[in-house]
Structures are given as structure tokens and as C-alpha cells.
């Protein structure tokens, strides 16, 4: 190296798995803080959200939202029916290719009338170009049904 050459030091790029874990945690933090602008920034234009488990026990999903606006609308609805959104005992796992993250957590949520809404969650989050393109939300549908008066079976 000559005297005229300069060395530019910079932080090495984050490994893809670590970056996906951080994106996943940031997504959950935005949901907890009800930051709809951040949630919108996280979503891919072709995002989908599926709730596979139905209180009726039917094999068809309880809900399916397609496109950024519908998925954001779902998150908006969650922020409106919950006064507090808090994930506890959070575990995030990321696939080796960093394209998918899995979340396991207990939900310590509270409704606007101060009723606790405890549930358990497993989320699958698929990422494309740093954006959330697909979410599958698994939670106990019986807990949801009892809490919100939805018929079971």
C-alpha cells in the first residue's frame, strides 16, 4: 500500500440471518407500539397474511388477506381491538437462507375494556428483498373465539 492510498474502515455487513432476525424483531416491535407507518414500510406490495386455524375447526383458513393494503388493514384492526400488544418469552428462529423467520411467543394483550387476552403465537414470516411478503399467524382459535364471542365448532 502506498502512502497516497487510503484505507476506509467500515463495519462489515450483517450476516443475512442476523439481518432477518433484526427485521423480524423490528416488525414485532412496530406491532407492539402500534406504529402503522412502520408496519406499512415493512410490507412488500404483494404481501399476504393467512390465519390457518379456525375456531370452527374447518380446514379452511380463518382469514386470508392479500396485498399490502389488506394486510395493513388487518394490522390496523388488531391495533384497534387491543389496548396493549406485548409479546413475551419471544423466540425468533431464522432459516439458513435467511428467507424465513419463525416466532414463538406468548401474547400478553389487553382489550380496550381492560380484559386480558392471553394467547400463544407461532408466526411464519417470509421475506423478499428485505420486505415482509407472507405471514402465517398461528394462535389458539378457541381462546380467540371465547374472548370475542365467535362460535366454536
The pLDDT profile of the chain, 153 residues, written as one tens digit per residue, is: 444 444 556 666 678 999 999 999 999 999 999 999 999 999 999 999 999 999 999 999 999 999 999 999 999 999 999 999 999 999 999 999 999 999 999 999 999 999 999 999 999 999 999 999 999 999 999 999 999 999 998
**Count of all residues that appear for the chain in the document:** 153
**Closest Cα partner for 148 from 122, 120, 115?**
115
Please report the sign of the dihedral spanned by the C-alpha atoms of residue 129, residue 32, residue 94, residue 141.
negative
- Give dist(CA 33, CA 39) in Å, integer: 10
Q: CB of 104 within 8 A of CB of 75?
A: no
pLDDT for the residue 10: 67
pLDDT for the residue 7: 52
pLDDT for the residue 40: 98
pLDDT for the residue 37: 98
pTM for the whole structure: 0.88
Coil vs helix vs strand at 53: coil
80 grid coordinates: 384497534
Amino acid at each position: 500500500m502506498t502512502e497516497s492510498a487510503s484505507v476506509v474502515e467500515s463495519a462489515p455487513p450483517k450476516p443475512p440471518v442476523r439481518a432477518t432476525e433484526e427485521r423480524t424483531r423490528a416488525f414485532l416491535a412496530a406491532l407492539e407500539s402500534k406504529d402503522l407507518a412502520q408496519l406499512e414500510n415493512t410490507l412488500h406490495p404483494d404481501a399476504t397474511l393467512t390465519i390457518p386455524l379456525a375456531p370452527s375447526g374447518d380446514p379452511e383458513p380463518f382469514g386470508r388477506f392479500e396485498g399490502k393494503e389488506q394486510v395493513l388493514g388487518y394490522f390496523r384492526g388488531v391495533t384497534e381491538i387491543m389496548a396493549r400488544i406485548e409479546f413475551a418469552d419471544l423466540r425468533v428462529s431464522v432459516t439458513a437462507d435467511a428467507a424465513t423467520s419463525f416466532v414463538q411467543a406468548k401474547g400478553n394483550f389487553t382489550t380496550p375494556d381492560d380484559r386480558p387476552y392471553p394467547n400463544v403465537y407461532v408466526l411464519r414470516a417470509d421475506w423478499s428483498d428485505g420486505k415482509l411478503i407472507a405471514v402465517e399467524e398461528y394462535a389458539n382459535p378457541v381462546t380467540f373465539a371465547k374472548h370475542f364471542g365467535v362460535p366454536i365448532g
